[in-house]
Amino acid sequence: MNLNNNNSSSNNSEDPLILGLPHFILLKIINNVDNNTDLICLLMTSKLFFVTLRTKYCKALRFKLDRFTRELNPICLKSFKDIYSHCKTFILIRDKEGSSSNARNEEEEINVHEVNISADYFTKRPLIKRILPPSTKTLALTGTIANKLQKVIPPNLERLVLLNSDNDPNCTFPPSLTSVNWYNYNLIIPSTKFPSTITRLVVAFKSLPPNMVYPLSLEELEIDIQELNGLQINLQNLTALNSFKLKMSSNTNPYPSASSIRFPVGSSSLKKLEIKRGISDLKEGWLPKSITDLDLGSTYYLGTVSLPPNLVKFVVSSESPIFRGMIPSTVKDLVLFFMAEFPTIDEGALPDGLEELTLIHYKGPINPKIVTNSVTNLSIMGCSVSNEKDMIFPPGLIKFSQSIPRESLPACFPSTTKDITYFLDCNSKTLYLPTSLELFACQLVKVCQTDPIYSIPTNIKIVDNCNYNNNNGTIHNNILPPNVKHVYCRLPMTSQDFERDGFSFRLDQIINSTSIESITFCRFPGGNYSSTISIRRLDTLNQVVLLIQEGTLFGGIIKQKQLPNHFNVGTVDNDILFVNFMQSDDEENIILSFSDKSLVAQEEEEEEDEHIHDHEEDYSYDVDDESFGENSYEEDGSFEDEFLLD
């Protein structure tokens, strides 16, 4: 939460103590709480504390939000609505009928930093300066504004993003502008003069003109093209350039020649070079010696040319065995992409100081003879180990990632392991998770073959690798190790399936059988949606739980419905709780809701209600409206009386 100290400079000696502390100390504490959910819990500890702050300091308090949308206003925590209304650090303007954008008050928008808007907005509304507040730092513009781009630019703009745009950025920009992203794969980028102040430039077009001129101030340059068309990239005058990336379509053939790219002359600033698709005609001396981060795609093979002497991160493809001396001893982060049918790594071939290692399509052993003990981050992608005994982790391993786990992993993780990621097919074999684990990432598994209902994998076996049982007692019915506080879930569905069906997730299992405090849903193929739900259990039995969607402050307090356990008399089970995600009608937003019914069950119930209504028109009855599900969950709209402690 951000605090405006100018609005809270009252005489502290006249303020009564709250929780035994003066106001200015409490406000300092609040200002240093980064998590909105933790902040809400803090404000709920005392009724006097909450009421005093909301009454006296409301205009000085700010939640830290990723996005504020006036049209959606996704607020369920009514007690915090006044504070929430001051959090306009990010605004998403959309061209919708009935939008009240023209009526916005400039004073209200003083904190607006980012605007994402369509060019169509400006064709209908001539008051451009009223649309884009002067505080705007980032402008993402989709479409083309004919001859009006100059008028649109706010005076303090720092970053400009042009999407599917024909606008020529060759106009006068404010000196504050430092970054330009320009995307239009249907055009050849025009020969334009970019602002001389920018330090970062990203262009994605069909192809580049041979006489492309880049600002001398550039520190980062990224080019993405679909066709070569006599590609020539002259970077010789960019003496401040630190990073250069060249991306190409997978259909690009042949690869660009090394001679078509000329690096800065005599400069030691260029540290990162990435040419993802590949490059041809490599010659000795072409690579700048200043490079510390190198990725030349699938066309660079060890031994082709000499490597830079201070290489730290290295991505390399190999069709032959990896022998001693091939990998420079300076490398700390190594990605090996094997293209041979039976790839091998000789003993001692990997540097002793290696810290991060990614193996792709590797089929050999992973043990101390191959993987050095210094490795703390190990990823094996598309790999298979013929013998389970051949997989022995480094003793200081902290982070481990694996895709396509065809074999069960060994149960022996070192006590240092804190972070594990499993991708794809997570239900095929037993997944061993150590008690030392704190962060877990996985692909969700479908619990119903016909409906889009998902949960975390159920084939998990918890292994005590840090004497947890002796120090803390036995592990009680947990489906994840007790130290896991954060989970990242990858959705195994296409963006088209999501837009059509949405999906439901079993949240009650997470609340009642884990110690998780946040769960993130992210990255289904073809989409970039990500949403995190924070969980705070407000009593020891998990009957009352605070759920907040991070970044929007959507959520509330739910009361779980208890069910008697007939198999174990005296114990209580909780009813199912789903978090449902679905596409909004305008297909511009994703709507999240909590319910005791999945999306499919809700649709079936609605159809049944319509059927009853059609056949029993004379029968009328009242149904209570429950925002979190019928009779099972409720959100306490204003929880000052019931949940705030005296």
Q: What is the per-residue pLDDT across 576-592, written as a single tens digit (0 to 9) for each?
A: 888 888 876 655 567 77
Q: How far apart are alpha carbons 32 and 378 in whole angstroms?
A: 34
Q: What is the pLDDT of residue 599?
A: 79
- Delimit the domains of the chain by residue range: 2-83
Q: How far apart are alpha carbons 505 and 526 in whole angstroms?
A: 20
Helix, strand, coil abundance in the chain, percent, nearest 5: 15, 25, 55
Mean pLDDT calculated for residue range 427-437: 83
Residue 438 Cα to chain centre, angstroms:
18
Q: What is the pLDDT of residue 78?
A: 63
Q: How far apart are alpha carbons 547 and 307 in whole angstroms?
A: 52
Mean pLDDT calculated for residue range 556-568: 71
Three-state DSSP class for residue 271: coil
Half-sphere exposure (Cβ direction) of 386: Cα atoms closer than 13 Å: 7
Report which of 271, 173, 269, 274 is spatially closest to residue 223, judged by C-alpha positions. Answer: 274
Query: Does residue 254 have a cis bond before it (omega within 30 degrees)?
Result: yes
Share of the chain above pLDDT 90, in %: 22
pLDDT band at 622 (very low <50, low <70, confident <90, very high): very low
| Comparison of pLDDT for 17 and 311, the residue scoring more | 311
Q: What is the pLDDT of residue 432?
A: 85
Transcribe 22-54 into DSSP letters.
-HHHHHHHHHT---HHHHHHHHTT-HHHHHHHH
Mean pLDDT calculated for residue range 225-252: 87
pLDDT band at 624 (very low <50, low <70, confident <90, very high): very low
Tokens (6 digits) for 437: 């684990």
pTM above 0.75, yes or no: yes
Transcribe 561-577 into DSSP letters.
PEEE-SSSTT-EEE---
Q: What is the pLDDT of residue 313?
A: 97
Q: What is the pLDDT of residue 640?
A: 36
pLDDT score of 389 more than 70: yes
Q: How far apart are alpha carbons 48 and 644 in whole angstroms?
A: 9
pLDDT score of 540 more than 60: yes
pLDDT, tens digit (0-9, with 9 covering 90-100), for 599-615: 777 776 666 655 555 55
Residue 257 Cα to chain centre, angstroms:
36
Tokens (6 digits) for 451: 């409906």
Q: What is the pLDDT of residue 452?
A: 86
Beta carbons of 402 and 378 less than 8 angstroms apart: no
pLDDT score of 294 more than 90: yes
Transcribe 373-427 into DSSP letters.
TT--EEEEES---S-GGGB---TT--EEEEES--SPPPS---TT--EEEEES-TT
∠ CA 33-37-42, rounded to 5°: 60
Residue 475, φ and ψ in degrees, nearest 5: -85, 115
pLDDT, tens digit (0-9, with 9 covering 90-100), for 393-421: 999 999 999 876 555 566 689 999 999 99
